[in-house]
Chains A and B, each alone.
Chain A
Amino acid sequence: MIENSSSQPNTIKPKVPNTERISLMTKPRLILRAVLAVLGLVTVYSLVTIDTAGLKLGDAFHSLGINLKAMFLQPNVGQDSWGVLLKALSTSIALTILTTLLGALIAFFIAVFTARNLSPNWLANTLKAVMAFIRSIPTIIWVLIYSAVMGLGANAAVVGLTFHSIAYLVKAYSESIEETPQATIEALKASGVRFWPIIFQAILPSIVPALLSWTFIRFEINFANAVAVGAAAGADDIGYYLFMASGFYFNFHEVGLIVYLLLGFAIILELISMRLRGHYLKQN
């Protein structure tokens, strides 16, 4: 214990004039609290007056347990075979690879004209606006739109997925291109190098890690989309079997197996992308 030597510690007290009440409750805070209070009341009211339609919670949780057990502890192939399911999974993977590669290739060339440091402002802005419009509509909707044009099936899935991938990657790529320093581009321009050699010899090597990273993220997105699209557009991929097993045959064993298959592929994908990124980051 350290004892205070003086009985009266030397404190500094500011002289406070006697003013009216000081409140820390500002107007925005007041509004926020009022909104939270109203939301709380609504929640309590709806919980109390909810129509359970004679649902017995105990039974419901019991059957949920049984279904989850059937899905994740007793997975099996159901009415399909391993061969069919693995083939369907490979269809999904093929769909993903095809749409990502096509999208990446086309997106790179569009991105060159969308980057502000390479193309005139009017062109860059127009392309940016068009791409933003395409991006704002979800992939599934584009697939359905193309299904209306081309009929349900793999074709509509490929075109729809590629379409949205392009719009997504153009944004990512063109922003990467815009980050390359103008000075290095100028150095080659000053030695009389043409436009496309500058793109491929100067800009591309500088942005490979960024491009790779973005393309891989899109690959993952496209895989998830391919599964969903398979069910919607009937592309005969793993998503279609998942849809049939869960919504048509109610075979939860098969649903569980398909979920495990998807999970396994997602893990493999993650490992590959980590490896690739590690490789390119080491080089940088």
Chain B
Amino acid sequence: MLKVNQLDKTYGQDKHSLKSVSFTAQPGEVTAIIGPSGAGKTTILRSVNQLIRDDGGQILLDDQDIRQANKAELRKIRHHIGMIFQNYNLISPLTALENVLHGRLGAKSTLAGMFGLYSTAEKTEALALLAEVGLKDYAYQRCDQLSGGQQQRVGIARALMQHPKMILCDEPIASLDPKSTKIVMDILRKLAREKKLIILINLHQIDIAMSYADHIIGINDGAIVFEGPTAQVNDAVLQKIYRQATEQKAKVAANEA
């Protein structure tokens, strides 16, 4: 279980990015963070694996506080947190299989990692994971020859190769067409259900969040304005989450008029 307590983050002098953010995400569930642009969705996600250093609070993954970990401990924790990105962030001249194997690099010693020494078991597992996301025939293709949806699935296989407890997804479908979106989201939901993973996902598209997420966290201007099961999300809640954005738009429109 991921439990975030009173997370604070300030950029610069007084621009609050996160204001005492608290929420929980359960294994076996898809948890979606929704909110207007600039509300702090990415900041939350990147604080969870400490790619962004926050200013205060608690991030408990299975009762271990990630924020208290030293460098070596943090690396170990990160190894069990998969992450997928809007732009996939694969090493494009390498094959899909090599990119999936990169998921094991974090578990290796410096030398074994430098020379990319993988055991047969690891290679077999990588191939099996590629088959699981439906890319078995593309294992030896260079990643820049794959489509966006295929690259994102390679990214998911790479995350799974880490044997993760949790997968963080930073706008995973923002660059994908509807068909690829459905494939990727179906895979993510299946992973939550079957492997009991924590899936924490940043989303722009409310309809996708409503149809795939079990648990919704609504964020507005750095503060949580809603947290609860998807069934409880109604128009009033959505209005609250996207409130300021619409207000601001109205203001801008009024100023322009």
Which A positions have Cβ atoms within 8 angstroms of B?
181, 183-184, 186-202, 205-206, 208, 283-284
Are the C-beta atoms of A201 and B91 separated by less than 8 Å? yes
How far in angstroms is the closest Cβ of chain B from A192?
Answer: 4
Question: At the interface, is chain A mostly helix, strand, loop or mixed?
Answer: helix
Chain A residues in 8 Å Cβ range of B102: 188, 191, 193, 201-202
How far in angstroms is the closest Cβ of chain A from B49?
Answer: 6
Are the C-beta atoms of B78 and A196 separated by less than 8 Å? no
How far in angstroms is the closest Cβ of chain A from B98?
Answer: 8
**Which of B75, B91, B103, B106 has the most A CB atoms < 10 Å from its CB?**
B91
Q: How many residues of B sit at the interface, in one of the four size bands?
A: 20 to 34
Q: A206-B92, A208-B93 given as contacts; is B87 within 8 A of A189 (CB)?
A: no
Chain B residues in 8 Å Cβ range of A181: 89
Q: A186-B51, A205-B93 given as contacts; is B103 within 8 A of A191 (CB)?
A: yes
- 4 nearest CB pairs, A to B: A197-B113, A192-B106, A192-B79, A192-B78
A257–B94 alpha-carbon span in the complex (Å) = 47
Q: Out of A184, A194, A202, which one reaches B75, CB within 8 Å?
A: A194
Q: Out of B83, B92, B94, B105, which one reaches A197, CB within 8 Å?
A: B105
Q: Out of A187, A188, A190, which one reaches B81, CB within 8 Å?
A: A190
Are the C-beta atoms of A189 and B91 separated by less than 8 Å? no
Q: Out of A191, A194, A199, A201, which one reaches B162, CB within 8 Å?
A: A191
A193–B82 alpha-carbon span in the complex (Å) = 12
How far in angstroms is the closest Cβ of chain A from B215?
Answer: 23
Instruction: Identify which of residues 173-193 in chain B touch chain A, using a CB-to-CB cut-off of 8 Å.
Output: none
**Which of A188, A191, A193, A201 has the most B CB atoms < 10 Å from its CB?**
A191
Chain A: CB-nearest residue to B76: A192
* B139 lies within 8 A of chain A by Cβ: no
* B108 lies within 8 A of chain A by Cβ: yes
Q: Supply 14 further A-B pairs (C-beta < 8 A) apart from A191-B106, A191-B162, A200-B115.
A: A181-B89, A186-B89, A187-B83, A190-B51, A190-B81, A191-B79, A191-B82, A191-B158, A192-B78, A193-B106, A196-B113, A197-B108, A198-B105, A201-B102
A183–B76 alpha-carbon span in the complex (Å) = 21
Instruction: Identify which of residues 79-120 in chain B touch chain A, using a CB-to-CB cut-off of 8 Å.
Output: 79, 81-83, 85, 87, 89-94, 102-103, 105-106, 108, 110, 113-116
How far in angstroms is the closest Cβ of chain A from B83?
Answer: 5
How far in angstroms is the closest Cβ of chain A from B75?
Answer: 4
Chain A residues in 8 Å Cβ range of B90: 184, 187
* B77 lies within 8 A of chain A by Cβ: yes
A-B contact pairs, 23 of them (CB 8 A): A181-B89, A183-B85, A183-B87, A184-B89, A186-B89, A188-B105, A190-B78, A191-B82, A191-B83, A191-B102, A191-B105, A192-B76, A192-B78, A193-B102, A193-B106, A194-B110, A196-B114, A197-B108, A197-B113, A200-B113, A201-B114, A205-B93, A205-B94
Are the C-beta atoms of B93 and A284 separated by less than 8 Å? yes
Which B positions have Cβ atoms within 8 angstroms of A?
49, 51, 74-79, 81-83, 85, 87, 89-94, 102-103, 105-106, 108, 110, 113-116, 142, 158-159, 162
Chain B residues in 8 Å Cβ range of A183: 85, 87, 89
Chain A: CB-nearest residue to B108: A197
Are the C-beta atoms of B75 and A192 separated by less than 8 Å? yes
Chain B: CB-nearest residue to A208: B93
A201–B76 alpha-carbon span in the complex (Å) = 19
Chain B residues in 8 Å Cβ range of A283: 93, 142
How far in angstroms is the closest Cβ of chain B from A281?
Answer: 11
**Which of B49, B77, B105, B159 has the most A CB atoms < 10 Å from its CB?**
B105
How far in angstroms is the closest Cβ of chain A from B183?
Answer: 21
A201–B110 alpha-carbon span in the complex (Å) = 11
Q: Out of A187, A200, A205, which one reaches B89, CB within 8 Å?
A: A187
A195–B106 alpha-carbon span in the complex (Å) = 10
How far in angstroms is the closest Cβ of chain A from B244?
Answer: 29
Q: A205-B93, A206-B92, A206-B93 given as contacts; is B83 within 8 A of A194 (CB)?
A: no
How far in angstroms is the closest Cβ of chain A from B167?
Answer: 11
**Which of A189, A190, A198 has the most B CB atoms < 10 Å from its CB?**
A190
A195–B75 alpha-carbon span in the complex (Å) = 11
Q: Out of A190, A199, A205, which one reaches B91, CB within 8 Å?
A: A205
Q: Out of B91, B113, B142, which one reaches A194, CB within 8 Å?
A: B113
How far in angstroms is the closest Cβ of chain B from A229?
Answer: 35
A254–B238 alpha-carbon span in the complex (Å) = 89
